[in-house]
Amino acid sequence: MAKATLPHLAIPGATLELRVTPKASRNEIREEAGQLRVYVTTVPEDGKANAAVQKLLAKALGLPKSQLTLVRGATSRDKTFRVEP
């Protein structure tokens, strides 16, 4: 699946748990066995990968970036984002 469309997950107040792979060959979101996996080409330094994940996830959800807040996992591969109302 090259590009995931996830508007069904864009519920205000919902939390999205995902696994991130930085320095991947392409930007991509996959839904594998009920878990979200996000691949970004950005390097994990100075929050660049987190910003890339937020942008890619917002696009897939059909939301503006400002409606996604990183709740947990700023320096981890396992991250939790909250959809703000």
DSSP symbol at 27: -
Q: Tokens for 58? A: 């917002």
How far does the chain reach from its first CA to its final CA, in angstroms?
29
Q: Is residue 25 part of a domain?
A: yes
The number of domains in the chain is: 1
DSSP symbol at 37: E
**Across the chain, what does the average pLDDT equal?**
92
The one-letter amino acid code at 49 reads A
Q: Could you tell me the residue range of the domain that residue 24 belongs to?
A: 7-83
Q: Is residue 1 part of a domain?
A: no
Q: Is residue 15 part of a domain?
A: yes
Q: Is residue 59 part of a domain?
A: yes
> From CA 28, how far away is CA 68, in angstroms rounded?
18
Query: Is the pLDDT assigned to residue 80 strictly greater than 70?
Result: yes
Report percent pLDDT > 70 for the chain: 95
Confirm whether pTM is higher than 0.75: yes
Q: Is residue 2 part of a domain?
A: no
For residue 62, the number of C-alpha atoms closer than 13 Å in the C-beta half-sphere is 9
Q: Is residue 38 part of a domain?
A: yes
CATH number for position 75: 3.30.1200.10
